[in-house]
Amino acid sequence: MLLSSLNPLAVAKGADIPNAVTIDGVTLSRGDLLGAATSVAERVARADRVAILAEPTVSTVLAVVGCLIAGVTAVPVPPDSGAAEQAHILADSGVQAWLGKAPEGTGLPVVPVRAHARSWHTYPEPDPGATAFILYTSGTTGLPKGVVLSRAAIAAGLDALADAWSWTSNDVLVHGLPLFHVHGLILGVLGALRVGSPLIHTGKPTPQAYAAASGTLYFGVPTVWSRIVEDPTAAKQLADARLLVSGSAPLPVPVFEKLRELTGHAPVERYGMSETMITLSTRVDGERRPGWVGTAVRGVSTRLRDEAGNPVPHDGESVGGLQLSGPMLFDGYLNRPEVTAESFTADGWFKTGDAAVIDADGFHRIVGRESVDLIKSGGYRIGAGEVETALLGHPEVAEAAVVGLPDPDLGQRIVAFVVLRGPAGADTERDLIDHVAQQLSVHKRPREIRVVDALPRNAMGKVQKKLLAQ
């Protein structure tokens, strides 16, 4: 049973513990966290929306929790955002001030966050339908869009994960993820505070930092886990953990298998978006299948549809657009009613934009974005993800990204961008193409291999395929 308090999204009720949050080399007890955050709440209680420069610091955590206590909408701003992106976020969100640290030259008022200030004023729990956060998407299709998330949606999402992962106050969560995104901020900070488990934020998610943290529950993106398995000494230090969780992008099967070999743990994979939080996950007590992201969490329903809106069978092979419904869905895109309307079906299901397959047992496999990862070649519908998985199974391939490029004969031809572990040989391209043809159907083989030094990624480690396609 989850602990709760007057502000269940802020700090779980319970006896004071000395290590509620450790971040940026500072540790706060539960009492210190609540007292300092309530002091922040007193300073912003009359505001509507405030911006938070989401660096991994105590100031950021106190700012976020203070907003939740006061019922003020928080707008996390990526600390590495460029001037144009930052200006767009501030103007689009309509924030009235910066809470905590602010960029140089800002024209907005700045409300300080004082880590040593304390207040024990009691605030009533805000309305569950009130907006807790406006999170801005990565902006791969133009300017970033503001995703409006209510308190009720966040609570539902966190409670469903606590159920799926048996996450309790006995856990110690460790991660080093950015605090402007669902993964690092909502799951990685609010999840721990809601459940009542201590949080250790490592600053950067290095193998050495994870190994030294001695947690029971670890969050990471595939890049983090890839680096950890390349450091066997650090990886073996995670053997005493209870659960290793991977998300934000598909975990390559070879990394999954190596992680299991080195730590004794098959990682939990899950799927979510800023708009939905986490809706699919393998369970702590269920099957963990490499390349699959599990079943719908509590309260979520899923379905597949083709381009005409017709049902796609759940046979583990047929690819369709993933649609879902559930209590953790967002309230829409800020100032974008037309885009919001286009994102939902007539009967109220959210169109994720991701292509997936579902098997008879309700297990889901994400094959990529419909816009860039669903490749239509020679009359076949091919998921880029399965081609990438096959390529990553080749010993010479360190990273792979597959896209469909225009082709006058096939419609689209499959092109693979790969990062190799060593120099390319004269037969490397042919070897990789043949490897995929042997692992999958022949029509799924790449028609072209392009060797690159690195793949373009965003702040969350996701490959930016639109840059490759260009």
The predicted-structure confidence for 199-234, as pLDDT tens digits, reads as follows 999 999 999 999 999 999 999 998 899 999 999 999
* 3.40.50.12780, 3.40.50.720, 3.10.105.10, 3.40.920.10: CATH of 21-203: 3.40.50.12780
- Tell me the pTM: 0.84
- pLDDT, tens digit (0-9, with 9 covering 90-100), for 238-248: 999 999 999 98
Please, is 464 exposed, middle or buried when counting C-beta atoms within 10 Å of its C-beta (0-12, 13-18, 19+)?
middle
- pLDDT, tens digit (0-9, with 9 covering 90-100), for 397-412: 999 999 989 888 888 8
* 3.30.300.30, 3.40.50.150, 3.90.1150.10, 3.30.70.2190: CATH of 374-469: 3.30.300.30
Tokens in use for 289? 């299948």
Tokens in use for 333? 């895109």
Residue 73, pLDDT > 90, answer yes
Which one, of 116, 12, 9, lies nearest residue 59 by Cα?
116
Please, is 437 exposed, middle or buried when counting C-beta atoms within 10 Å of its C-beta (0-12, 13-18, 19+)?
middle
| Fold that domain 267-369 belongs to in CATH | Luciferase; domain 3 (2.30.38)
- The rounded distance, in Å, linking the Cα atoms of 39 and 59 is 12
Maximum separation of any 2 CA atoms in the chain, in Å: 71
What are the beta bridge partners of residue 271?
Answer: 280
The per-residue pLDDT for 383 is: 79
User: pLDDT-derived band of residue 138, with 50, 70 and 90 as boundaries?
Assistant: low
Please, is 451 exposed, middle or buried when counting C-beta atoms within 10 Å of its C-beta (0-12, 13-18, 19+)?
middle
Residue 5, pLDDT > 70, answer no
- The rounded distance, in Å, linking the Cα atoms of 234 and 217 is 15
> Please, which contacts does 369-376 make with residues 24 or more away whose CB atoms are closer than 8 Å?
369/465, 370/321, 371/141, 372/403, 372/404, 372/465, 372/466, 372/469, 373/402, 373/403, 373/465, 374/319, 375/402, 375/403, 375/404, 375/412, 375/414, 376/404, 376/411, 376/412
**CB of 216 within 8 A of CB of 222?**
no
Residue 150, pLDDT > 60, answer yes
The domain limits of the chain are: 21-203, 267-369, 374-469
User: pLDDT-derived band of residue 141, with 50, 70 and 90 as boundaries?
Assistant: low
